[in-house]
Amino acid sequence: MGQNVFRHRRIMVVFILCMVFLVALTVRLGIVQLRQGDYLSDIADDYHYRGVPVAPKRGNIEDSTGNILAISISAETVYAVPAEVRKSGDEQARRSAEGLAVILNMDRDKVYEKITKRTSLEYIKKKISPEEAAQIKNAHFPGVGITEDSDRFYPNGTLAAHILGFVGVDGQGLEGIEYSRDQELVGKAGSTQSEYGADGIKLPEAAKRYQPPVNGNTVRLCVDGSIQAFAERELNKLMTGQGVNMEGNVPRSASILVMEPKTGRVLAIATAPTFNPNNYQDFPNETRRNIAVQNAYEPGSTFKIITLAGALDKNVVDMSEGFFDKGSYDILGRQIRCWKAGGHGQQTMREVVQNSCNPGFISMGQRLKKDNFYSYLEAFGFGQKTGIEMAGEAVGILANKNKATDLDLATMSIGQTNAVTPIQLLTAVCAVANGGVLLKPQLVQEIVSPSGTVVSSFKPEEVRRVISHEVSRLECEVLESVVTCGTGRRAFLPGYRVAGKTGTAQIVRDGFYVQGEYVASFVAFAPANDPKIAILCVIDGVPFYGGVVACPIVQSVLLDSLKYMGVKPDGTAPLAPTPPLPEQIFPPVKNPAVVPFVAGLTLEEATKTLQTAKLSVMTEGSGSVVLDQIPYGNAQVEEGSTVLLYLGDGEASAPAISNWWEMEDPDIEAMIPGRKPLTQ
């Protein structure tokens, strides 16, 4: 009896243990199936499925108006699954390698090595032509396939090449916006997957699945393609020796930068020599350097804008006060000469600016004193990066403040000793033009998703206020007089109020200044009383002054840009510089007259209409139709004034106004004998 009870108890215990085990197993299976099923299934699929990546389309890069500057086009890549190739036998593998080598113009042994390599997937050649892809598909090489890919294409060739940059063979951004915005542009790869066995061979009747790629976002720039084209057109003329006053001389390099003073938007950065991003590898490495951002140079007289701004803001100079220029400025036993032999004599400070008088600006710097001068250097952003979205931006070179003497202060006041980058200088000049606020230069306007939704947009970014609004307004008036009756007259535009400053600096080579070879430059903004656009042109390695070669370039880009932007001429603006233009172009004025609007008329009709209004006619271009005119219709001028008519056959184009006068422009910074330039 006792033994039976003991036996029943043991059976019950075993039964309970079995039930507990079954319940635990059921619970565990439920957890695995319900909670971890998808996760474990994905792991299993990773072992069973092997995929061929499908490249996403890299996002477009567009200019501010939506015109495409960079786009990805469909391409194909040939790959091999080495396990399948080896399964076909060595003889077949060699035949496949031979056939692929012929089609792809590759070395047979290298192809054989690739297709038999001990890897799960091997790319043979990326971005092949449609003809090559078709031949490979028709050949049915065992273990060899074609997958979807994309190739980068720049439809405008060299346009904005230094801004856009380029991508490598694997689609990664290497320079420019392609590099800085690679994360937004690149997208997410998809794949085409099939079931494979443990031996790496695709299973018969294998299931397949496709994961589509996610294309990249579009990057829309602040750059305007038309204004960029205006700038590059002028650089092309310059680099082929066809620039105005170039007389066949070709500089080493040149750059043109265009910005909106009130927003910091960069409208154009043109650099020469340039390259084509479609085949960047065919160009010398130095052509890919963005000298507008990555190179520093002694700016010369264009920097006097900063000296003047500080002197006016600290109220140490009055534009109406007198200054006598004897031809040099004596400081610490040295003489810094004025460019004009014998000096300018008695003049006002306004005339000091108009004449780019070195002793006058040195006087401003000495009054400002070293501490204040350096505080304005820092406030205007010199010696530091502007933050523009370009890799490799230089910071420039500033003389050590603790070691700087009054002599250094004198040379810095006229744009020597310190080195700046073109983007730094134009950003600082825009602060003078826009009311006194330094803005961060902006290259990217917005990021747009493939569906067209704006992911992010960029607003003007204020860095700091550097001068007062009143000082800004006064300096704009003074700089306008530089163009109307000073060294910048070759940039004068009838009917537009243009402010600017010329600059000429000697070139540094092997630690010394080179005689007779200059960095010629000119910076301008317009309209002077309400700036819409600012332009800086820097030309490296010419035997001419900034006012001679840089002014006409800025004049041409400025005129086309203002007309393109719809900025109308100002009826109160002067129609001729002072002294006036030659008699045959601008006859003596008589009585007030209103300019008729003649755009759209034939040349004969326009001429008759203008002559009836007692106005003279001058034409540029060829054709029988008037495309545009300066001054514009309804502008009030005086009888006998000349109206410039742009002719064509109906296409909207306006050639730049020619240089109408000859003028000495020796706006070159006087060098101190024996002084070496500042180096790093």
Catalytic residue numbers read 301
**C-alpha 619, offset from chain centre:** 34
Residue pair 292/255 in contact by the 8 Å Cβ criterion? yes
Q: Say how many residues make up the chain.
A: 680
Residue 89: partners with Cβ closer than 8 Å, 6 or more residues away:
none
If residue 515 lies in a helix (H) or strand (E), which one and from where to where?
strand 512-526
Residue pointed to by tokens 């370039």: 553
Q: How many CA atoms lie within 13 A of 271 on its CB side?
A: 22
Contacting residues for 205 by C-beta, under 8 A, at least 6 apart: none
> Of 159, 156, 167, which Cα lies nearest the Cα of 58?
167
Instruction: Please tell me the distance from the alpha carbon of residue 540 to that of residue 550, in angstroms, as a whole number.
Output: 11
Q: Which residue, among 425, 522, 530, 526, has the nearest Cα to 473 in the 3D structure?
A: 530
What letter does residue 64 receive in the DSSP assignment? T
For residue 89, is it left (φ>0), alpha (ψ between -120 and 50) or beta? left
**For the chain, what is the largest distance between any 2 Cα atoms, rounded to a whole number of angstroms?**
144
Element (H, E) at 360: helix 358-368
- DSSP letters of 128-152? E-HHHHHHHHHHT-TTEEEEEEEEE
DSSP 235-249: HHHHHTT-STT-TT-
Q: Return the axis-axis angle of helices 546-564 and 225-239, rounded to nearest 10°.
A: 150
- The secondary structure of 305-317, three-state, reads HHHHHHHHHCCCC
Cα–Cα distance measured from residue 317 to residue 67, given in angstroms and rounded to the nearest whole number: 48
Q: Which residues of 93-119 are buried (b: 16+ CB within 10 A; e: fewer)?
A: bbebbebbbebbeeeeeebbebbbeee
Q: Which residue has the tokens 């320079």?
A: 175
Residue appearing with tokens 């080598």: 101
Give 252: exposed, middle or buried? Use CB within 10 Å, 0-12, 13-18, 19+.
middle
Instruction: Report the SS3 class of residue 196.
Output: strand
207-231: b (≥16 Cβ within 10 Å) or e:
eeeeeebebbbbbbbbbbbbbbbbb
Q: Which amino acid is at 468?
A: S
The Cα-based distances of 308 to 240, 325, 429, 501, 518 in angstroms read 36, 17, 11, 12, 23
